C-alpha cells in the first residue's frame, strides 16, 4: 500500500450513516459488485454512476454512524473509491474499514479545504493530503505499519491467513 491515492473528491456532510452508504434494501446480497451499484445512493442518487476508480470520498464528522454493517466499507471499496477522508469516523465503521482494507484518514482541515470535484492526492505513509486543484496541503495521521500490512493483504482475514500460512 505504499502507493499514493489520487482521485476526484466527492463531498458529503456530517453523520452519513451506514444506511446512506448502503441502504438496507440491498443487504440481501454480500456480493461486492452488486453492493457497489447502490453505494451512497441515499445520500446522492447519482453517486453510483458518477464514481470512478480511484475517486475519494470527503465527509464531515461521524462518517459511518448507525449500524455496524460491514457491507458499508465493502460497498465503498468495491465502487472503486481509493480512500475516505472525514472529520471523524464512527468507531465501528473505522474498524470495519480497516478489516476490509479500505484506507481512511481523519483530517478536519482537509475536509474544510477540499471541494466537490477537486483532485486530491494522499500519501498513506506520511499522512499528507494534497488538494492538487488548489495547491494546498493538509496533514492526517499516517497509516501505521501494522494497518498497512492488513490493507496490503486485502483485509484482516487475508492478513491472518497469510500470517498463519493458510
**What is the rounded average pLDDT for all residues in the chain?**
94
Q: What is the pLDDT of residue 68?
A: 80
Tell me if 104 sits within 8 A of 97, measured CB to CB.
yes
Q: Looking at residues 5-30, what average pLDDT do you find?
A: 95
Judged against a pLDDT cut of 60, whether residue 1 lies above it is answered with no
Total domains, the chain: 1
Please provide the distance, in angstroms rounded to a whole number, between the alpha carbons at the two ends of the chain: 22
Query: What three-state secondary structure class fits 84?
Result: strand
Cα–Cα–Cα angle for 51, 54, 57, rounded to 5 degrees: 60
Beta strands in 5-164 (DSSP E): 5-11, 56-59, 83-86, 104-106, 119-123, 128-131, 136-139
* pLDDT in the model for residue 67: 85
CATH of the domain at 85: 3.20.19.10
**Higher-confidence residue: 157 or 55?**
55
Q: Averaged over 118-132, what is the pLDDT?
A: 96
Domain residues for 42?
5-164
- pLDDT by residue (tens digit) across 66-112? 988 899 999 999 999 999 999 999 999 999 999 999 999 999 999 99
Query: Has residue 2 got a pLDDT over 70?
Result: no
pLDDT exceeds 50 at position 55 = yes
Amino acid at each position: 500500500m505504499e502507493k499514493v491515492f489520487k482521485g476526484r473528491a466527492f463531498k458529503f456532510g456530517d453523520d452519513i450513516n451506514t444506511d446512506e452508504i448502503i441502504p438496507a434494501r440491498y443487504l440481501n446480497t454480500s456480493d461486492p459488485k452488486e453492493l457497489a451499484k447502490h453505494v451512497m445512493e441515499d445520500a446522492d442518487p447519482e453517486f453510483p454512476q458518477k464514481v470512478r476508480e480511484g475517486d475519494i470520498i470527503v465527509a464531515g464528522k461521524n462518517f459511518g454512524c448507525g449500524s455496524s454493517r460491514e457491507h458499508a466499507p465493502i460497498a465503498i471499496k468495491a465502487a472503486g473509491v481509493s480512500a475516505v477522508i472525514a472529520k471523524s469516523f464512527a468507531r465501528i465503521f473505522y474498524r470495519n474499514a480497516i478489516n476490509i482494507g479500505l484506507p481512511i484518514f481523519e483530517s478536519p482541515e482537509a475536509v474544510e479545504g477540499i471541494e466537490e470535484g477537486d483532485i486530491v492526492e494522499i500519501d498513506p505513509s506520511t499522512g499528507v493530503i494534497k488538494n492538487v486543484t488548489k495547491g494546498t496541503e493538509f496533514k492526517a495521521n499516517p497509516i501505521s505499519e501494522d494497518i498497512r500490512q492488513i490493507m496490503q493483504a486485502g483485509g484482516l482475514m487475508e492478513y491472518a491467513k497469510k500470517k498463519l500460512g493458510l
